[in-house]
Structure 1
Amino acid sequence: MSDSAPEPRPGAPKGVPLGTGARRWLFRPPRRHGEVDPDRSVSFLELFYDLVYVVLVGQAAHTLAEHFTWRGTATFAVVFGLIWIAWLNGTLFYELHGREDGHTRSLIFVQMLLLSLMAVYVGHADGGDGRTLAILYAILLALLSYQWFSVYRLDRPELRRTPRRYLIVMVVGIVVMAVSVPLSADARLVVWAVFVVAWCAVECVILISWRRAPSYAVVTEPLVERFGLFIIIVLGEVVIGVVNGLTDTERGALVTTTGLLGLAVGFGFWWNYADLVARRMPRETGHSLATWIFVHLPLSMAVAAAGAGMVGLVEHAADERTPVAVSWLMGGSVAVMLVTIVVLLPTLSDYDRLPSLRTSVQTALTTAAAGALVVGWARPAPWLLALALLLLLFASWVFAFVRWLSEGSLINERPAG
């Protein structure tokens, strides 16, 4: 028997010195533009990251549930827009440039720390807490800008035009949020609203210009899955809203029935989005990708708002008519959700397979959306309002299901390849 060390097997991986391996793991640069990984799957870190947004959205929805006023609704819309923009930036960066290494993890955990602090102040963003929220948001944008800049300086010169524009918009956002700090609460909300609308509009234009002649693909299944997961996050607010309403109200048959009907409305949201939009790849070029991304903002906002409305719906279950604010919030949320699906359908890559089918489904969804607004305007009893909205959601899905079957397909069938 020989005392000499065995020879390494041919092709066996060689060891890496600890210092070299640690430096690579901690300081490896992000992926450049064009280095998209189409074979990766959604990581545990991304799911953990999204959980922080559960808290942020929950705080905003909880505040809306306690303040069913026009101001409360406007504040919710603006704050939700800020939350969604932050989520979009973090999600796109990880999808396009992130790695499974210490550098990426560290930056994401720093973001999560900032987001957790922001959640403390989101609930009273229209008051004194808005100043602190603006400061934290500016710091978050600065961190995100640093991440995008770290990619920009590694990019090939011919690919730097779009990232440069994106960075300029991000820096302007930092300045705007910083400027809003000393303003009064009303003025600050106006500035934030302008920022949300302007940021989405400008970035939409930049994205359309970039994808007019795409040099590489950017849409992957994990990206589509992340957008679907965010909808699941806000759908959780519907469940929370019903539970909170039942917890804070003297429970009886009518109250419980109203709560269950409200919860079923959330199921209707899921059925329509999951079968008509979720996990379907959007087109890469033209306006389609930009529309697909940014229409998810009002879609997710409408679902979260409905979650807040559930509280008022259950609390007023014994009333003869639903309060005006709650009725319009619920009817409007369902209408917006259905209309956004109508807008999203033509952006999907498989839309042209069955154009007549898609058109008829869009017509049905639009009709159901109009019906939801009529129900909101009519202000029936809370249980009846919830039942009417549920029937509209159910009818739109059934119509789509029947149309798919008539074409020899299934509503949730994915195109081959």
Structure 2
Amino acid sequence: MSNQPGGAPLSWASAAAFRRHFWQPPRAHGDVIQGREVSFLELFYDLVYVVVISQAAHHLSGDVTWAGVGRFAIVFGLIWLAWVNGATYHDLHGRSDGRTRSNVFLQMAVLGLLAVFTGEATAGDGPAFAAVYSAYLFLLACLWYTVRRQDDRELRSRATPYIVGVVVSAALVGASALLPDTARLAVWAVVVVGWLGSIVILDWRNGATRDTSINVSASLIERFDLFTIIVLGEVVVGVVNGIADAGRTPSAIVTGILGLGIGFAYWWSYFDFVAASRVRSDRGAVARWLVGHLAVTMTIAATGGIMVSMVEHVPRSPTAAPAAMLLSVSVAVGALALVLVATSLANWQSKAPVYRPVAAALVTAAAVALLLGWLAPPPWLHILLLMLTLGAVWIFGSLTWFSYARRVR
């Protein structure tokens, strides 16, 4: 090959060495990168989910009913499972080489297509959504299989059930494209519940040894925190869309800005009480951490979708049913989910004087939220009271924390 000016000749050997460096096999099980931080590639990948979740929340904003929330929960559950599987694969086996980048970009392309059909996934675009989602799961199964091929015999036996589960899920979702809308949704619900049940059962069985449980590294914890920020953005989107749809009236603007306060209150509570914290090693902790995060992110995204209806109904008093109760239920479930996440943290026992009172305050806030939903005050007042309730929990938690910190000095 030709020489570079002032440098060593470019040979076929150097090109082959570069190819080996830039196109490496995935990291094997146990090949942990100590101190690994979330990469720019992972942040880019997560941005695709901003679009996917936004489409799902946008559909909910036009179907604020109990049935609509149920359909949203099923679709969001599928989206969350796709993200968890993709994020976990990269955390355990990804590199910064060309193979990993190409695989991530391929996943992003499939997810971009999935976003096109997410808005009407429970209606006319259901078959297309099922087909694309199935293709994405098959892609993930192939990636996990490449890891299995290089594992030793013992690790292969552990990885096989997981890969089979991904393939079966892909086949079920793909086959649901041939079913009517109601039956298709039922199949999707079975897939979501099946995954959650498997997580709970496997974590309980393996929790005593923790060797075969899901690895919750510091970088994966950071990914979950970042995903929470993604869904918090849906509250902002819901407020903006609600104000725009309501004709930008002063009352709509005031109500929308108050609605942002609920998103802000979520942020304070999540990132000050449960974010960036290690997970306990005892059985059931990882399952509680995962299921709790599903509930937290789902309810935040639902709050964003419902917020559109709340702002649009500003001229009416009380709020048009069932938007008021649905908003309160979302906030209440989100508060209870924070408690579930908190119980899974490594410092739940050591800092019980802080976590237990805060958990009790969150449970109280959930009860207050449900009471407000039943009373259904005018939208601006309803949103303001929810914001103040969540804010009061944060203030109580902060005072409790500072009191505890002073006692242990």
Structure 2 CA distance for aligned equivalents of residues 251 and 19 of structure 1 = 61
Q: Deviations over 1:187-213 (max 9, x none)?
A: 101111111111121133224434431
| Correspondence list, 1:359-398, <5 A | 359-398=356-395
Letter in structure 1 aligned against 2:260: L
* 1:292 maps to 2:289: yes
Gap change, CA 1:375 and 1:101, over 3 Å in 2: same
Give the structure 2 partner of residue 156 of structure 1. Answer: 152
Query: Any conservation in 1 of the 2:358–2:397 contact (CA below 8 Å)?
Result: yes
* 1:261 maps to 2:250: no
* 1:104 maps to 2:100: yes
Letter in structure 1 aligned against 2:363: T
2:131 aligned to which of 117, 135, 146: 135
Gap change, CA 1:202 and 1:322, over 3 Å in 2: same
1:47 aligned to which of 37, 43, 48: 43
* 1:236 maps to 2:233: yes
When normalised by structure 2's length, the TM-score is 0.93
* 1:273 maps to 2:258: no
Structure 2 CA distance for aligned equivalents of residues 97 and 211 of structure 1 = 22
Letter in structure 2 aligned against 1:166: Y
Residue 402 of structure 1, CA deviation = 1.1
Query: Any conservation in 2 of the 1:38–1:220 contact (CA below 8 Å)?
Result: no
Residue 16 of structure 1, CA deviation = 6.3
Q: Deviations over 1:198-243 (max 9, x none)?
A: 1121133224434431348933221111000001000000001111
Q: Secondary structure at the match of 1:408?
A: helix
* 1:309 maps to 2:309: no
Q: Secondary structure at the match of 1:366?
A: helix
Gap change, CA 1:207 and 1:149, over 3 Å in 2: farther
Structure 2 CA distance for aligned equivalents of residues 367 and 131 of structure 1 = 42
Q: Secondary structure at the match of 1:353?
A: coil
Structure 1 CA distance for aligned equivalents of residues 353 and 150 of structure 2 = 46
Residue 23 of structure 1, CA deviation = 3.6
Structure 1 CA distance for aligned equivalents of residues 146 and 199 of structure 2 = 19
2:122 aligned to which of 114, 121, 126: 126
Identity of aligned residues (%): 43
* 1:320 maps to 2:317: yes
* 1:407 maps to 2:398: no
Residue 285 of structure 1, CA deviation = 3.6
Structure 1 CA distance for aligned equivalents of residues 241 and 162 of structure 2 = 41
Structure 1 CA distance for aligned equivalents of residues 13 and 326 of structure 2 = 59
Residue 17 of structure 1, CA deviation = 1.1
Query: Any conservation in 2 of the 1:219–1:284 contact (CA below 8 Å)?
Result: no
Give the structure 1 partner of residue 199 of structure 2. Answer: 203
Query: Any conservation in 2 of the 1:177–1:192 contact (CA below 8 Å)?
Result: yes
Give the structure 2 partner of residue 32 of structure 1. Answer: 28
Give the structure 2 partner of residue 92 of structure 1. Answer: 88
Give the structure 2 partner of residue 171 of structure 1. Answer: 167
Query: Any conservation in 1 of the 2:353–2:404 contact (CA below 8 Å)?
Result: no
Residue 19 of structure 1, CA deviation = 2.0
* 1:19 maps to 2:23: no
Query: Any conservation in 2 of the 1:42–1:226 contact (CA below 8 Å)?
Result: yes
Residue 409 of structure 1, CA deviation = 5.6
Query: Any conservation in 2 of the 1:261–1:387 contact (CA below 8 Å)?
Result: yes
Structure 2 CA distance for aligned equivalents of residues 210 and 391 of structure 1 = 41
Query: Any conservation in 2 of the 1:166–1:206 contact (CA below 8 Å)?
Result: no
Give the structure 1 partner of residue 334 of structure 2. Answer: 337
Give the structure 2 partner of residue 70 of structure 1. Answer: 66
Letter in structure 1 aligned against 2:401: W
Q: Secondary structure at the match of 2:30?
A: coil
Range with bigger deviation, 83-92 or 62-71:
62-71
Query: Any conservation in 2 of the 1:95–1:223 contact (CA below 8 Å)?
Result: yes
Structure 1 CA distance for aligned equivalents of residues 360 and 58 of structure 2 = 34
Structure 2 CA distance for aligned equivalents of residues 388 and 407 of structure 1 = 28
Residue 85 of structure 1, CA deviation = 0.4
Structure 2 CA distance for aligned equivalents of residues 296 and 138 of structure 1 = 24
Range with bigger deviation, 199-208 or 79-88:
199-208
Query: Any conservation in 2 of the 1:61–1:307 contact (CA below 8 Å)?
Result: yes
Q: Deviations over 1:65-108 (max 9, x none)?
A: 01112232121111101100000000000001111111111111
Gap change, CA 1:23 and 1:298, over 3 Å in 2: same
Query: Any conservation in 2 of the 1:322–1:379 contact (CA below 8 Å)?
Result: yes
Give the structure 1 partner of residue 3 of structure 2. Answer: none
1:221 aligned to which of 200, 218, 231: 218
Query: Any conservation in 2 of the 1:38–1:221 contact (CA below 8 Å)?
Result: no
Residue 165 of structure 1, CA deviation = 1.6
